[in-house]
Amino acid sequence: MGSITLSKVVKRFGEAEVIPPLDLGIRDGEFVVFVGPSGCGKSTLLRMIAGLEDLTEGNIEIGGRDVSHLAPGDRGLAMVFQSYALYPHMTVRENMLFPLEMAKVDARTARDKVARAAEVLNLSAYLERKPGQLSGGQRQRVAIGRAIVREPSAFLFDEPLSNLDAALRVNMRLEIAELHETLGSTMIYVTHDQVEAMTMADRIVVLQAGRIEQVGTPLELYEQPRNEFVAGFIGSPRMNFIRGAEAERLGAPTIGIRPEHIRASRESGLWGGRVSVSEHLGSDTYLHVDTDVGPVNVRTAGEFGVHRGDTVWLNPDENAIHRFDAQGLAL
Amino acid sequence: MRDTSTAFRVKKALGYAMMLAFLGFSLLPVVWVVLLSLRPATALFEPIWESPAAWTLDNIRSIARSDFPAALLNSFITAGSSTLLALLVGVPGAFALSKRRASNKFFASWLLLLLRMAPPVGFVIPLFLVYVRAGLIDTYAGLIFAYTSLTLPFVVWSMWTSFNQIPDELVEAGLMDGASLGRVLWRIVIPAARPGLVAAGVLSFLLAWNDFFFSLIITRSDTTTAPVAVMNFVSYASVDWGAIAVASIALTLPIVPIIVLANKYIVQSLGGAVKG
Ligand SMILES: Nc1ncnc2c1ncn2[C@@H]1O[C@H](COP(=O)(O)OP(=O)(O)O)[C@@H](O)[C@H]1O
Ligand SMILES: [Mg+2]
């Protein structure tokens, strides 16, 4: 039903090739996240699936049907935009009724569907309000409500949470994940925030300059990044990269080690250095250490009582070292 | 504390004084014309601040008997039709320019500006020559088309600006919801741009309503509009100032309710405020 297949999809804006030939298969019911730095083509790719951008080349199938040349409204998809894109002059109810009206659903059924969606999304009390009278989180819910009433075969989200404050973002993340559990529909979710990607995705597609760098489950990307880009992009705080003699000694032109895989000690260790910044969160301590092999970030569980200027020793976990060749590919 | 508040009051008072002065200055001619319109012909050239021997409605009666009411109706028909035509064609055009991709938008904007800026004298002569051959002289159709050459570029230009303030995502959301482009325009974009639309409609109507030049060249008698008909009160022998005063009031009065009703939208649209 909601499987989506992109074959040799290309997008050019004039001369600029934003998406070089790209293949991707998304299974029915999967929660897939497109993640990558801003400007890498995530939105463009999503909009091509939606039908809001033409394909320069290639084709797209949804549920086995070639939709490459269908209008956006005929693809059976629903989209939630970053700005919510609620119709400002319509009430919440009218906003949610609109897609049903366009689909010529009879008025009674439509009202029931809207009532049910409103209940699920805690919007029942706000149905007669205009979008201007709602908070950001409520607007986001209306946008989601407008998407679910159509019962689309897949949902497309383009950075839907980036206009919300941090606390609300975490809440909405959970709500969207729950929605996915309940509906079981395919969802494609675009974000530049790798934490969102890691927490929500069944599979993550990491993009850079329109190319797919790696596709995999969050843990696959974390444990076996295919290259330096993915290794650096996934995981927070960022993986440390060490080059030169020390890297060669450990068996590769470049080695990568995640901050959580380094043990800090006041007495002894492989790399010695001076603390330049220490962040004490209670649950964790983040240390930025200037060592002989370059700056290294360390994350230790619990409180670790050192301060700027103190000397610390660092012990990387040998088994957690990632090795990359000169081209940045994992060895 | 006290000082600033006194200074503030003085400033405020000064502001009001200036506003009143400006209001008085701009309303003076209007008051003058009203006083003029109620005077008998014999008292027209007495000082305006002196009350005449008798006030009269003669001027109004003579206007009512003249061709002027018909000319007023002509003005309504032609300005109204031209505005409707301009909205009907111009709004979808502006929508396309604002929300669809096209390679020659620069050319379109350039052409529109040219049409907006060029003085009507520039095309009234060729228009006249074509109209003579096409039999459009002194017809409603002829005048409406001529006015549309003013109102259409205006409507396209101003609605283009209005539509640009409406986020593209609103259009895209409509398309995703299964609406056709026409539906998106009618159900989503136009309601969201209503202040701009009202302003464009009213100002376009005024553009045609206030025209003198096109009507002077293109009409003879049947379709003469009010501003030209006013000139009928000027003859070789005399100028009927009383009638002219009444006529100019009659030309202004219909505008007042329109402006009052549309004022809210015009201010909003000039302020560029479309709530997202
Ligand atoms: N309509 C367009 N015309 C020209 N270039 C565009 C257009 N839309 C996007 N781009 C370019 O395509 C690239 C990818 O954009 P986008 O998909 O929005 O990135 P992302 O969503 O990952 O931040 C950017 O370099 C952007 O400048
Ligand atoms: Mg984007």
Domain span at B223 = 67-270
Q: Are residues B54 and B73 in the same domain?
A: no
Q: What is the mean pLDDT of residues B139-156?
A: 94
Q: Is residue B275 part of a domain?
A: no
Q: Can you read off the two tokens belonging to residue A208?
A: 């850079």
Q: Are residues B48 and B155 in the same domain?
A: no
A44 lines ligand 1 (CB under 6 A): yes
**Whole-structure pTM value:** 0.86
Q: Distance, CA A210 to ligand 1 centroid (Å)?
A: 10
B275 and A73: CB-CB below 8 Å? no
Q: Is residue B31 part of a domain?
A: yes
Q: Of B176, B178, B276, which is closest to A50 when you measure between CB atoms? A: B176
- Which portions of chain A are predicted below pLDDT 50? none
A286 close to A297: Cβ distance less than 8 angstroms: yes
CA dihedral B126, B129, B133, B139 (to 10 degrees): 90
Judge whether residue B1 has pLDDT over 70: no
B178 and A102: CB-CB below 8 Å? yes
- Count of positions (residues) in chain A: 331
What pLDDT score was predicted for residue B272? 47
The A186-191 sheet, strands edge to edge: A77-80, A154-158, A186-191, A31-35, A203-208, A211-216
Q: Are residues B50 and B148 in the same domain?
A: no
A88 and B175: CB-CB below 8 Å? no
Q: Which atom of ligand 1 is nearest to the CA of A45?
A: 17
Question: At which residue do the structure tokens 């529909």 appear?
Answer: A185
What pLDDT score was predicted for residue B117? 82
Chain centre distance of CA A90: 31
Q: Are residues B79 and B41 in the same domain?
A: no
Q: How many domains does chain B have?
A: 2
Q: Is residue B84 part of a domain?
A: yes
Contacts of A89 in chain B (CB under 8 A): 191-192, 194
Judge whether residue B6 has pLDDT over 50: yes
Q: Of A85, A103, A146, which is closest to B172 when you measure between CB atoms? A: A85
What pLDDT score was predicted for residue B111? 86
Q: Distance, CA A137 to ligand 2 centroid (Å)?
A: 20
Contacts of B275 in chain A (CB under 8 A): 88, 132
A13 lines ligand 1 (CB under 6 A): yes
Q: Is residue B38 part of a domain?
A: yes
Q: Distance, CA A204 to ligand 1 centroid (Å)?
A: 20
A87 and B173: CB-CB below 8 Å? yes
Q: Are residues B42 and B135 in the same domain?
A: no
DSSP A72-127: GGGTTEEEE-TT----TTS-HHHHHHHHHHHTT--HHHHHHHHHHHHHHTT-GGGT
Chain mean pLDDT for chain B:
88
Q: Can you read off the two tokens belonging to residue B88?
A: 């009907």
C-alpha to C-alpha distances, A201 to A2, A141, A186, nearest whole angstrom: 16, 20, 11
The A311-316 sheet, strands edge to edge: A262-265, A311-316, A271-280, A284-291, A294-301
A35 lines ligand 1 (CB under 6 A): no
Longest dimension (CA), chain B: 77
Q: CATH topology for A244-324?
A: OB fold (Dihydrolipoamide Acetyltransferase, E2P) (2.40.50)
Q: Are residues B138 and B218 in the same domain?
A: yes
Q: Does A78 touch chain B (CB under 8 A)?
A: yes
Residues B42-73 have pLDDT tens digits of 777 777 777 777 888 888 888 888 889 999 99
A43 lines ligand 1 (CB under 6 A): yes
Q: Are residues B120 and B73 in the same domain?
A: yes
List, in sequence order, every residue forming a beta bridge with A330; answer none if it has no partner: A324
**Cβ atoms < 10 Å from Cβ of B121:** 9
Q: Are residues B34 and B72 in the same domain?
A: no
The residue ranges of every structural domain in chain A are: 4-230, 244-324
Q: Is residue B81 part of a domain?
A: yes
Nearest residue to B88 via CA among B208, B171, B200: B200
pLDDT band at B3 (very low <50, low <70, confident <90, very high): low
- Chosen CATH of A4-230 out of 1.10.580.10, 3.30.43.10, 3.40.30.10, 3.40.50.300: 3.40.50.300
Question: At which residue do the structure tokens 């000694």 appear?
Answer: A249
Q: Which atom of ligand 1 is nearest to the CA of A53?
A: 1
Q: What is the mean pLDDT of residues B135-150?
A: 94
Hey, which of A44, A192, A194, A213 would you mutate to test ligand 1's pocket, going by the most ligand atoms within 8 Å of its Cβ? A44
DSSP B134-161: HT-TT-HHHHHHHHHHHHHHHHHHHHHH
**Cβ atoms < 10 Å from Cβ of A253:** 15
Final residue of a domain: which of B58, B79, B94?
B58
Final residue of a domain: which of B58, B75, B90?
B58
B187 and A98: CB-CB below 8 Å? yes
Q: Are residues B140 and B234 in the same domain?
A: yes
Q: Is residue B158 part of a domain?
A: yes
Judge whether residue B271 has pLDDT over 80: no
What pLDDT score was predicted for residue B275? 42
Q: Is residue B276 part of a domain?
A: no
CA dihedral B60, B61, B65, B68 (to 10 degrees): 0
What pLDDT score was predicted for residue B274? 44
Residue of chain A with shortest Cα separation from B173: A85
Three-state DSSP at A223 gives helix
